[in-house]
Chain A
Amino acid sequence: MLKINKNIRPEFSLHLLVFIIVNIWAGQLLAQDRVFMYLNYYQSEDEQYMVCEVKYRNDEGFQQLVGVPIEFYNNSDTASNKLGEVVTGKNGKARLDFKESDIIRDEDGFAHFESTFAGNDDYRSAKKELATKRVSLAISGEVEDSVKTLTVSGKEIVNGDEIDISDTDIKVFVKRTFSDLPISEGSLDEGSYAFEFPNDLPGDSLGDLQIIARIIEHDDYGTAEVRTNETWGTPVLMSSGERPRALWSRAPLWIIISVTLAFTAAWYHYFLSLSKLFKIRKL
């Protein structure tokens, strides 16, 4: 039988209680996985959005944290404006779209964003901050003596003023079926970057190409892009030839006639044979 020692001192009991409480708290903390949060900002002329990606790490490496709520804020010196709350999808990402009118920028043109995860029994809380400026990108094309020159211009917008962007990397792509094909990369110098456009890119049936200029994960601008169409590709004509054995094609007449004749002949003889059987009973 368990015997209780009645000679335990009160101060020892207090130490024991504190020790147990601290252990429980530490145990809970250790039971929770650390969360890694990444916040990115995307902008174009028509849209602005943030993507927050959350992960945790286990024995098999980084794993996506699925189905947890992420809160998005736009902070200023005086207030913290909640933009919305989004639950992470299967890829562990939460995307929040917003309008320029929803947010406040400081006098330098920065908008201060914050994403937070409150944490739960299994995962610790996490927070990420980001400050970005609004930019305006544009693409213009010019053909001179059969040489096509594409110019990308970029300006940042501060309190309604447009200021040329400099020393900023920019990449130019052409949209293809499965991904974007990079065709040039350089740096915006005094607000523009120009290069000679290749002549041999296949376009659609009219030679149309969708051209994309993109600043990627810049410290001040996040990811910014602009898209435009130019008829600078080589027209590609898809074969419009008839595909006689395709699922949607019609059966050729000779097949219809042959199959119908063959089976009609067979079934005619079958019923001829059966008709004779009926005569047997009458005889």
Chain B
Amino acid sequence: MEISSFDKLLQKFKYPLSKVSRSWLMLFGAMLLLVFFGLIALVQQIIHGHIVTGMRDHVVWGLFIINFIFFLGIGYSGAILGSVFHLTRIRWSKPLHHFTELFAVTGLIVGPIFIFLCIGRLDRIFYIFQYARIQSPITWDVIAIMTNLIFIATYLYIAHIRDFAKLRDSKVLDIPNWKRKFIKALSLGYSGKPEQIKILNQSQNILAVTILFTAILADSLLAWLFGMSLRPGWHSTLFAPEFILVALYSGVAMLILMMWIYRQQYSLNEVVTDQHFYVMGFALLILCFGFAYFTLSEYITEWYNVSETHGRWIEKFLDFHEYGLMSLLTIAFGILIPIVVLVVPKFRTPGSITVVAILVLIGLYLKRYLIIVPTLETPFVPIQDLRPEYVHYHATWVEWALTGAGFGLFVLIIMILNLFAPAIPVADLEHDDEIIVPKPFYETLK
């Protein structure tokens, strides 16, 4: 029997849908090791307290909060990108939908874990609810993160119902019985009847609009946590839009990275095409200019402010004994290299765009470090006669181990989700006219 091109596409996901491959197991094991190492560090932290971290009285936030912002940024941007792709019905973006949904959910699961790691007295965590103050941005953030996580997890599920139905009915994959039963239950009896298509679309549309609204609001709330304080580098009306732009920038970079990994792993060149890379590379370039604009605006206004505290803060970014090198790397990875590679046509290849995306992710991680630590090291009342570790923050092995565990967990969750559905929305592509090969708008203008 001849099988359709879409069944052939589905067959590419034989591993890990039917059974897991050796390479899958090895990667899974490596990530488990990372998480296990993090657990050892966590035990140390629980036994000895936060003294095993580099956080002290003045620098009370460190890598944990940096990771929290980084992963939440990834999560919110995935939610925004997924919603926009769906609502605007951009046909060429269809193969990318599940990527955005995957890293949205995973980012929103991993990010808040770092808040728990940052809290000294976890036994008092319920005080957040017991003594919640509705006028506190922290309360808003807790509500917003939980709301978004539930919404996006549900959206991920709804977006996969057609794929679950496809898998349920498919004969081309030898899926284990237990998994097939589970997938059948998840498919909700969807069989592609016109009424079912209509209702599923309505459900997905409503949730996509809601998520777009709540994700932007939640990321803004995260920014307001900083912006509503008076500290140099934080007290800025620009912070909320900057956070959203930086989140989108890191989200597009993460999307490109996932496109490249899945394309290589599952030989998806026909579905995730070079044109996808060029289009997303172009999106990356636009966001890069936005990031450059916000960065300039942020630092030049602070630099022009001649107050003593702001002066001490801005000097740290120019001093190579402090954060000069990190600032330079942030600008190089986040602005200069992306512009050079993405603007010059002969530098633009899927590979180079992916390398730029990785550099952007590193640059934006460093940017989060520069947002948090130098400000906390610059109190309004200057620190005198204190031990050096109170003045300068240095992350310890415990924090690095837990950071590694966070990244390991991020990969693990995506790998586990991949066990139950293909990372490409095969069913959606099948019901479209063709697998769309996108063209960037500047080529369609010719």
Contacts and interface: CB of A to CB of B under 8 A. Distances in A.
Interface of A: 245, 247, 249-252, 255-256, 259, 262-263, 266-267, 269-270, 272-274, 276-277, 279-281, 283
A266 B155 CA distance: 14
11 contacts: A262-B217, A269-B206, A270-B151, A273-B202, A273-B207, A274-B154, A276-B203, A277-B199, A279-B199, A280-B190, A280-B199
A266 B203 CA distance: 14
Contacts of B143: 259, 263
Nearest to A274: B154
Nearest to A248: B133
A280 B200 contact: yes
A242 to B, nearest CB: 13
Contacts of A270: 150-151, 154, 207, 210
Contact of B210 (A247, A249, A266, A277): A266
Given A247-B133, A259-B134, A270-B210, 11 more contacts: A256-B134, A269-B209, A269-B210, A270-B207, A272-B206, A273-B206, A276-B206, A277-B158, A277-B161, A280-B161, A283-B195
Given A259-B134, A270-B154, A273-B154, A281 B188 contact: yes
B346 interface: no
Contacts, number: 69
Contact of A266 (B134, B154, B161, B213): B213
Decide if the interface of chain A is mainly helix, strand, loop or mixed: helix
Given A266-B210, A270-B207, A251 B133 contact: yes
A259 B139 CA distance: 11
B140 interface: yes
B134 A251 contact: yes
Contacts of B202: 273, 276
A252 to B, nearest CB: 7
Interface in B170-222: 188-190, 193, 195-196, 199-200, 202-204, 206-207, 209-210, 213-214, 217
A107 B189 CA distance: 110
Contacts of A250: 135
Contacts of A249: 135
Given A273-B154, A280-B200, A251 B135 contact: yes
Of the candidates A250, A274, A276, the one having the most CB atoms from chain B within 10 angstroms of its own CB is: A276
A24 B200 CA distance: 96
Nearest to B203: A276
Contacts of B161: 277, 280
A273 B200 CA distance: 9
A267 B147 contact: yes
B135 A255 contact: yes
